[in-house]
Structure 1
Amino acid sequence: MPVNVLIAFDGSPLSERALTYAIETFPDAPITSIYVINPLDSVIDVEAGGLPVAEDWYDNAKERATRIHATATDLAAERDTELVTVTEVGKPARAILKYADDHDVNQIVMGSHGRSGIDRALLGSVAETVTRRARIPVTIIS
């Protein structure tokens, strides 16, 4: 069975390492990069004063997703690899698992964490949740 790889890519150094690992380990596999817009982040940004108006959160999140996808696409192109990018909205672990189930993905690769500090403590570990709940192999890069 051909491998269909999903990379959880958030622009962090570990997600960049995960993408490089996937390209090197599965050179002939189709690779999809997923970025998840988490609506909870908008609440945190507005409360912390990072966004002037709550209504702007989605536009800002879409712009961020576009920048992150460009980074992933550029990294893949440097390694002569074509990359499909997708954006989902929701809780990151749930969205990653649902996408994998809905699109015949049979390998997930992701960094051990994309956040640090208080965000990671408050929101928990996406990598841990994906690893525990996935029905397919998950490779965690640290």
Structure 2
Amino acid sequence: MGEHVLVPFDGSPLSERALDRVLTRHPEDDVTVLYVVDPLLAVYEGETKGLGAGESWSEWMTARTDAIRADAEERAAERGRTVTVVVESGRPGRVVLAYVDDHDVDHVVMGSHGRSGVPRLVLGSVAERVMRESTVPVTVVR
């Protein structure tokens, strides 16, 4: 049995690269994909991308979550792999660190958005926090 690798995944190109890297370079490892619904980011993205006519925030987030889960599972299936997809809500850095501690994770592989300016101040750097506070090795994919 290999290691337990955690991939925080939000469907962004960099999180896709992180998942692809794990699926190809960690063939014997168990992979958990963690999507964190961040209420602050969800409201910000929902407002900037616009909700469909008659669509509620909850419906928008459910559809987004379903799409992200399907994307992760499809990427794994294309490589003959399976992944466990977990969805939690909260502040991403906090949730990732708690998941590592509570689920015997051996390694975290994640993308970094490289945000700057106001988004960085408001949202913080999840990758930076995880690297700084994680009790296990962290690989950041850029």
2:99 partner letter: Y
Distance 1:122 1:27, change over 3 A: same
- For residues 40-71 of structure 1, the C-alpha deviation after alignment (integer angstroms, 9 at most, x for no partner) is 1244356658348xx93233222211101101
Give 3-state SS (helix, strand or coil) of 2:74's partner: helix
The equivalent of 1:57 in structure 2 is 57
1:76 partner letter: A
Gaps of 5+ in 1: none
The equivalent of 2:22 in structure 1 is 22
The equivalent of 1:70 in structure 2 is 70
- How far apart in 1 are the matches of 2:103 and 2:62? 22
Distance 1:45 1:51, change over 3 A: farther
The equivalent of 1:124 in structure 2 is 124
The equivalent of 1:109 in structure 2 is 109
State the Cα RMSD in Å.
2.4
Tell me the matched-pair count.
Answer: 140
Distance 1:46 1:71, change over 3 A: closer
- How far apart in 1 are the matches of 2:33 and 2:21? 13
The equivalent of 2:38 in structure 1 is 38
- How far apart in 1 are the matches of 2:92 and 2:5? 17
Deviation at 1:123, TM superposition (A): 1.0
- How far apart in 2 are the matches of 1:72 and 1:37? 15
- How far apart in 1 are the matches of 2:104 and 2:128? 21
1:80 partner letter: G
Distance 1:114 1:50, change over 3 A: farther
- How far apart in 1 are the matches of 2:22 and 2:117? 27
Of all paired residues, the percent bearing the same amino acid is 48
| Aligned residues of 1:106 and 1:136 also touching (Cα < 8 A) | yes
1:134 counterpart = 2:122: no
The equivalent of 2:97 in structure 1 is 97
| Aligned residues of 1:9 and 1:16 also touching (Cα < 8 A) | yes
Gaps of 5+ in 2: none
| Aligned residues of 1:10 and 1:114 also touching (Cα < 8 A) | no
- How far apart in 2 are the matches of 1:117 and 1:127? 16
- How far apart in 2 are the matches of 1:10 and 1:33? 9
